[in-house]
Chains A and B, each alone.
Chain A
Amino acid sequence: MNQTASHRLAPNVSLTIIAGFLGSGKTSLLNHLLTQSGGRKITALVNDFGALNIDSELIEAQHGNQVSLTNGCICCSIGDDLMRSLADIMRQDPLPDHLIIEASGVADPTRIAAYAAVDPQLRLDGIVTLVDAAAHQLHAQDPYLADNYHKQIEAGHMLLISKPDLVEDSQVEHLEAKLRASYPKTPQARVRHGHLPIEVVLGLQAETGEQTTPPHAPQILSTQIEDHGLASWSAHLHGGLSREVLAEKISSLTPHVLRAKGVLRDAQGAYALHYAGGRIHFEDLDVQPSGHFVLIGKPELPNAQALSDLFQTASA
C-alpha cells in the first residue's frame, strides 16, 4: 500500500493506442515505430509478438511473453487479458516513457483509453486508427462489423490510411475526402508498409489540459521525407514571433499539416510549441530558444518557398 492518496504520482507514462481492423497494418506500423524510438523507452503491448517479426539483431532477450530490444524498448503480449497486462506493466520499475497498445481488431479504443483516466501515472497521448484503403468498402458494409469500424474511426485522434498503394489514387483521395467530411478535425496521413516517422504518431497530446513534454523529447526532423508520402519543412525563425500569430499561420495550413514543433521567443519570453492532433500547445521555457521550427505534413503542403514566405512574414 505504498501508492495511495498521500502522494499523487505525476502522469509520466504517455499512452498511444493503435486501433484498426485485422490486417489494416497495425503490426507493420508498430514494428517501424519500435525501430525509431530515438531514446524513448517504449513498451508495446501487442496481440501477438510472433507476428511482429522483429529483426533478430534488435532482440536483446526474451522471457516468456516479453521481448526486450537493444534500444531499450520492450514488447509484451497481451494474452487474453488487457487489464492485467496493463496493471503488470504499470507496476514495473522503472516505468516506460511511452506505452503503445495495439488494440485487438474489434476493440473499442475508447474503452482502452479509459484506463488513462483512472491511472494517475498514465496520460492518453492519442488514439491512432488505421483505415485500410483496400478493405474500406468491405469493412464499412460488413453486416457484423460496420458499427465497430465506424466507432474506431470516430475514436481516432489521427487517421492513418494504410495500403494506399493497393488501390487507385483516386480511390484513396475519395476515401480521404469522405473521412474529412465526417471528421473534419481529425488529421489524416497515408502509411505504406508501416513506414511513418514516429513523430507523426506519438505526441498527439489528445488529453486536453495537460502539456507535459515527454522526458525524451523527439529529435526534430530536418530533412524532407518523401518515401513516406509526407513532406517536412524546417527552418530557423529569427526575431520575435508571437504565439497567436504562429498559431494562426499553422491553422491556415490545415488539413495538410500534421505536426509542428518549435522552440521560439516572443514578447512574453521563450516558449516551446507543439502542434498535433489538430491542437496547439505552448509551453513557457527558461532556456535560450534556438529558433528551430519544423512542420510535418502531407505533400499538399505549400512548397518550401511559400512556407518560407508565410513564416518569415510572420516573423518580421
Chain B
Amino acid sequence: MAHILAQSIIRHKPILFLSKTCALVLSHAEAMLGLGHFEKGESFVSTIYQAKSIRTMDPHQPHATHIALKDRKILAVGTAQDVADWQAAWGPLELNTDFADRTLLPGFIEGHAHMMEGLLWDYHYVGYYDREGPDGTIWPGLKSIDDVVAHLKQIQATRNDPSEPLIAWGFDPIYFEGRRMTGADLDAVSGECPVAVLHASLHILNANNFIMDAADVKNADNSEYIRRDDSGKPTGEFLGQLGMYMAMRTTNLDLLAAASSPKTLQTFSQVARQTGVTTCTDLANPVPEGAEVAMRETVEKDSFPMRLVVAFQGNSLPPEESVARMQALQDKQSDKLRFSLVKFVADGSIQGFSARLKWPHYYNGAPNGLWYIEPDRLREYLTAFTQAGFQCHVHTNGDECTEVTLDAIEDALRAHPWPDHRHTLQHCQMASRAHFKRMKTLGVGVNLFSNHLYYWGDEHRAITMGPERAGRLDDAGGCLEEGVPLAIHSDAPVTALAPLFTAWCAVNRVSSTGVALGGESEKISVEQALYAITMGAAYSLKMDTEIGSLEVGKRADITILADDPIEVGAQGLKDISVIGTMVDGLVHLNKGRDA
C-alpha cells in the first residue's frame, strides 16, 4: 500500500492520561497502564469533541467543527457558536480538545472484506506493495523474487522451530518481468521444512520442493492447474485451490481452521482500526452451529474496535435449510454484531479467467469462465431468501454473470414483491450502463471493487479485457449517474483494507504504473468517494439509519484523520494518516500514530 507513515511510536501523549472523562479505550496499553475500562452499563460521560473540521455526510450540515456525544450516540453537530446552547439544553458536556487539530468523518464502512484478513497476519506478508499490519508496522513491498526469498530466509534464520511449515502470503508476480517463482527459489529459503507462498489473489500458491516431494505430484497428469517448465516438470506453482489443498495435506496444517477464532477477529479489527474502519463485513461465512456465540463474545467487548456484519454463506446449505439457519441467527445479533446479509458467489474472478463474460469474452482468447452456482440454482436461492425477507449480496464479476443475476433477482421479485430489498451486486466490475439502468429499476445496489483499477488495471488492459472494456471497469461514475446506490471496497485480504485508498482508486482511476482506465465519465469526485465509503456502504448494509453520517441520533462511530480529505483533494487522498477511530463514542487510537 502506498501510504507510508512515519513509524514513530509515540503512543500516548500525556493529555490522554488526563482525559479519562472522554472515555478513552487504548486497545492494548490500557490494562497495563491502569486506565479505567469503559464497561457496558457504566454511564457514558457526555463529551463535546472539538475538531479542525468535521465532514458529516449529512446534506443538512455537511461541514462542522464540534460534535457532542452522549450515551454512545451523537447528540448534536455544529460549530463553536452552538456549544453554549447545547450546554444549556443538554449539559453538562465536557469539552475535549484532543482532536482539535484533526478532521473527523463518519466511521468508514468496509462493505466487502473477509475475516481471513485477520488470519493471514499469522503468516508472513511478501506482497509487492507496502502493507500496514495490525500493529501499525509497515511491511515494505518486495520488488523482486530475490527480495521475497531474501526476506523469507531472514525469517527462517530467526524462527524458534525452523522445521515448522513457513507460510507467506500476498505474493504477486504479475509485477515482475521475466521469470516466475520456482520450487528452487523456495528451497533456498529451506529444503528442510515446507515453504509455501500464497499469492495475493489467494488462488495461486508456490511450494518448495519439500512440499512437492511430499505431495508426489504426478508427472503423468497434465492438469492445467499445475504449472510446468518447458521440460514438463512441475515448477512448484499451483492454480485454483489446488496449491492450498496440497499445502494443507502435506503439512497437516489446516490453513483456514482459525478463520473465526477470537485471535483472528482481534487481528481483523486491528487492521480495520488502523485504516479508519468502524464497521466491517465478513463476506461470507458459513457460520457453523455455535460460531455465532463465540463471535459475539469477542465482538461485544468494548475494547473490540469495530462493528462486524457477517454475511451468511447462502449456498452452504440447501435453500430451505439455509433460510432456516438465517432465521435462527436473527436473535443472536447485537448492536455490534450482525447476521443481516446472505452472500452468494455466482462466478469467479476476471484475473483468474473464471469470471463469466459476455461475448467477445476474454481479450487473450481464454475460454469463458465458470459459474460457481448454476443460474437456476441461484434463482432458487434468491427467490427463497427474497420470500423470507433477507437481503442478498451476490458476487458477480463478469458482465454475463451480472446479467444472469439481475434476471434471477427480477424473477424473485416478480414472485415475492419487496420494495426495499436492497439486494446488492458485489464486485460487479464489468457492468455496463444498461446494467446500471436495470439495477436502478429493480432497486438493486452495487458495491464496486475499485481497488482493481490500481492493482490489476494494467493486466485488464493488456490481457483480460483489452483497453476499451478495461476503461469501464468498476464504473463508479456511470453507476452514480444512473442513480444506483454505490459503495466501493477492497475485498481484503485480496487487496489491502484501506477505504481512503479505495476512494483514491475510484477518484483517480489509474493503474499501478500510472496508466488511466477510462475517462472523466467513469471517475467520481472526492466527495462522492467519501460518501461511498460511509453512507454508501451503510445503505448497502441497511444500516444507514444507524451509521454512515454524523447526525443527531446516530451511533457515535467516527474516524479521526490527520488532514481533511476535501482539502487534501484527489491526489493525496490515499496518503492521509488515520489517527484512530471511535466506536460507540469509545476512542481507539492507532498504533504508530501521534494523536
A interface, over-half SS: loop
User: Is B35 in the interface zone, CB < 8 Å from A?
Assistant: no
- Of B207-215, B422-430, B463-471, the stretch lying at the interface with chain A is B207-215
CB of A145 within 8 A of chain B?
yes
Contact B194 A80 (CB under 8 A): no
In the complex, are the beta carbons of A22 and B215 less than 8 A apart? no
Seed contacts A2-B252, A147-B367; 15 additional CB < 8 Å A-B pairs: A3-B249, A4-B194, A8-B216, A22-B374, A80-B313, A81-B316, A87-B248, A87-B249, A104-B373, A104-B374, A106-B372, A117-B225, A118-B215, A118-B238, A145-B375
- Across the interface, do A148 and B216 meet the contact criterion of CB distance under 8 Å? no
* 9 A-B pairs with the lowest CB-CB distances in the bound complex, closest first: A117-B221, A106-B371, A5-B213, A118-B246, A80-B316, A120-B216, A83-B241, A114-B223, A106-B374
Give the nearest-CB partner of A120 in chain B. B216
B244 near A83: Cβ-Cβ < 8 Å = yes
Q: Which B residues lie within 8 Å of A64 (CB)?
A: 289
Residues on A with C-beta less than 8 A from B240 are 111, 114
Q: Taking A1-B163, A147-B367 as contacts, is the C-beta distance between A119 and B214 under 8 angstroms? A: no
User: In the complex, what distance in Å separates the CA atom of A51 from the CA atom of B356?
Assistant: 28
A4 and B321 contacting across the interface, CB-CB below 8 Å: no
Q: Which of B165, B254, B370, B372 has the most CB of A within 10 A?
A: B370
Q: Is A115 on the interface with B (CB-CB < 8 A)?
A: yes
B373 touches A106 (CB 8 A): yes
Contact check, A80 vs B374: say whether CB atoms are below 8 A apart.
Answer: no
A148 touches B371 (CB 8 A): yes
* Complex contact B215–A50 (CB within 8 A): no
Closest chain-A Cβ to B401's Cβ sits at a distance in Å of 9
A84 interface residue per 8 A CB criterion: yes
Query: Do A87 and B254 touch across chains, with their CB atoms under 8 A apart?
Result: yes
CB <8 Å contact, B318 and A90:
no
Complex: how many Å from CA A21 to CA B371? Answer: 12
A26 to B482, alpha carbons, bound, how many Å? 44
The reply to whether A105 and B377 contact each other, CB–CB distance below 8 Å, is: yes
- Asked if A119 and B374 sit within 8 Å, CB to CB, the answer is no
* A4 x B214 contact (CB < 8 A): yes
Query: What CA separation (Å) do A120 and B215 show in the bound complex?
Result: 5
Q: Does A108 contact B (CB under 8 A)?
A: yes
| CB-nearest residue of chain A to B259 | A84
What 1/0 flags go to A239-282 for Cβ under 8 Å of B?
00000000000000000000000000000000000000000000
A117 to B227, CA, bound (A): 12
Most buried by B among A4, A64, A81: A4
Q: Is the CB of A105 within 8 A of B244?
A: no
Which chain B residues (334-378) contact chain A, with CB distance < 8 Å?
A: 356, 367-368, 370-377
Chain B minimum-CB-distance residue to A21: B374
Q: List 25 A-B contacts (CB under 8 A).
A: A1-B251, A2-B252, A3-B214, A4-B194, A5-B213, A5-B214, A21-B374, A64-B289, A81-B286, A87-B248, A91-B252, A104-B374, A105-B377, A106-B371, A114-B221, A116-B221, A117-B225, A117-B242, A118-B242, A119-B245, A120-B214, A144-B375, A145-B371, A145-B375, A207-B220
> Is there a chain B Cβ closer than 8 Å to A48's Cβ?
yes
For residue A50, which residues in chain B have a CB less than 8 angstroms away from its CB?
A: 318, 321
Contact A106 B370 (CB under 8 A): yes
With contact pairs A1-B165, A118-B226 given, residues A87 and B245 touching in the complex (Cβ less than 8 Å): yes
- Picked from B220, B226, B250, the residue with its CB within 8 Å of the CB of A4 is B250
**A86, CB-defined interface residue at 8 Å:** yes
Interface residues on chain A, size class:
35 or more
| A79 in contact (CB, < 8 A) | yes
- Contacts known (A51-B318, A83-B245, A114-B225); A1 close to B238, Cβ less than 8 A: no
A119 and B316 contacting across the interface, CB-CB below 8 Å: no
Residues of A within 8 A of B40 (CB): none
Closest residue of chain B to A47, judged by CB?
B318
Q: In the complex, how many residue pairs between chain A and chain B have their CB atoms under 8 Å apart?
A: 117
Chain A interface residues toward B at CB < 8 A: 1-5, 8, 21-22, 48, 50-51, 64, 79-84, 86-87, 90-91, 104-106, 108, 110-111, 113-120, 124, 144-145, 147-148, 207-209
Shortest C-beta distance, A191 to chain B (Å), equals: 21
Query: Whose C-beta in chain A lies nearest to the C-beta of B356?
Result: A144
Q: Is B137 an interface residue (CB 8 A)?
A: no
Q: Return the contact of B217 from the options A3, A22, A117, A148 (Cβ within 8 A).
A: A117
A113 & B251 in contact (Cβ 8 Å cutoff) = no
* B374 A209 Cβ-Cβ under 8 A: no
- Of listed A64, A86, A119, residue having the most chain B CB within 10 A: A119
- Determine if B218 is an interface residue (Cβ-Cβ < 8 Å): yes
1/0 contact trace for B245-276 toward A, CB 8 Å?
Answer: 11011111010100000000000000000000
Inside 8 A of B375's CB, which chain A residues have their CB?
Answer: 144-145
Decide if A110 touches B214 in the complex (CB within 8 Å).
no
CB distance from B319 to the nearest CB of A (A): 9
Report whether A148 and B225 are in contact in the complex, using a CB–CB cutoff of 8 Å: no
In the complex the two chains form, what is the Cα distance from A208 to B219 in whole Å?
Answer: 11
Contact check, A118 vs B249: say whether CB atoms are below 8 A apart. Answer: yes
In the docked arrangement, what's the CA distance between A51 and B317, Å? 12
Q: Which of B225, B246, B317, B318 contacts A119 (CB 8 A)?
A: B246
Q: Are B313 and A1 in contact (CB under 8 A)?
A: no
- Taking a contact as CB atoms under 8 Å apart, the answer to whether B318 and A117 are in contact is no
Q: How far is the CB of B509 from chain A (nearest CB, A)?
A: 30
Q: Are A117 and B218 in contact (CB under 8 A)?
A: yes
Residues of B within 8 A of A111 (CB): 225, 240
With both chains docked as a complex, state the minimum distance between the C-beta of A49 and any C-beta of chain B, in angstroms: 9
Q: What is the bound-complex CA distance between A119 and B246, given in angstroms?
A: 7
Selected contact of B374 from candidates A113, A145, A207, CB within 8 Å = A145
- Of A84, A145, A147, most B-chain CB atoms within 10 Å: A84
Which B residue sits closest to A2, measured CB to CB? B252
**Residue B400 at the chain A interface, CB threshold 8 Å:** yes
**Contacts A1-B165, A115-B245; A147 near B376 (Cβ below 8 A):** no
Closest to B401 in A: A144
Q: B298: CB under 8 A from chain A?
A: no
Complex CA–CA separation, A4 to B220 (angstroms)? 21
A80 close to B286 (CB less than 8 A): yes
Interface bits B366-400 vs A (CB < 8 Å: 1, else 0): 01101111111100000000000000000000001
Q: How far is the CA of A120 from the CA of B214 in the complex (A)?
A: 8
Smallest CB gap from B245: residue in A: A83
Chain A's nearest CB lies how many Å from the CB of B346? 10
Residues of B within 8 A of A91 (CB): 252
Residue of A nearest to B246 (CB): A118
Residue of A nearest to B314 (CB): A80
Using Cβ atoms and an 8 Å threshold, which residues of chain B touch A81? Answer: 286, 316
Q: Is B224 an interface residue (CB 8 A)?
A: yes
Which B residues are CB-close (under 8 A) to A207?
A: 218, 220-221
In the bound complex, do residue A114 and residue B242 qualify as a contact, i.e. CB atoms below 8 Å apart? yes
| Cα–Cα distance between A105 and B225 once the two chains are bound (Å) | 21
Q: Which residues of B contact A21 (CB under 8 A)?
A: 374
Task: Kindly list chain A residues whose C-beta atoms are within 8 Å of the C-beta of B316.
Answer: 79-81
CA distance A96 to B163 in the complex (A): 30
Q: What separation, in Å, do the CA atoms of A48 and B316 have in the docked complex?
A: 10
* Complex contact A110–B223 (CB within 8 A): yes
In the complex, whether B315 has a CB less than 8 A from a CB of chain A is yes
Inter-chain contacts of B217 with A (CB < 8 A): 117-118
- For the complex formed, measure the closest distance between the CB of A37 and the CB atoms of chain B, giving whole angstroms: 25
Known contacts A4-B194, A111-B225, A207-B221; A79 and B317 CB within 8 A of each other: yes
**Are B252 and A148 within 8 A (Cβ)?**
no
Chain B residues whose C-beta falls within 8 Å of the C-beta of A120 in the assembled complex: 214-216, 249
> How far does the alpha carbon of A113 sit from the alpha carbon of B238 in the complex, in Å?
14
A116 contacts across to B, CB distance below 8 A: 221
Q: How far is the CB of B419 from chain A (nearest CB, A)?
A: 29
Contact of A117 among B213, B226, B250, B370 (CB under 8 A): B226
* A1: chain B residues within 8 A (beta carbon): 163-165, 194, 251-252
Identify B370's interface contact among A4, A90, A148, CB under 8 A. A148
Residues of B within 8 A of A148 (CB): 370-371
Which residues in B have their C-beta under 8 angstroms from that of A8? 214, 216
CA distance A118 to B163 in the complex (A): 22
Would you give the shortest CB distance from B106 to chain A, in whole angstroms?
33
Closest residue to B221 on the A side, CB-wise?
A: A117
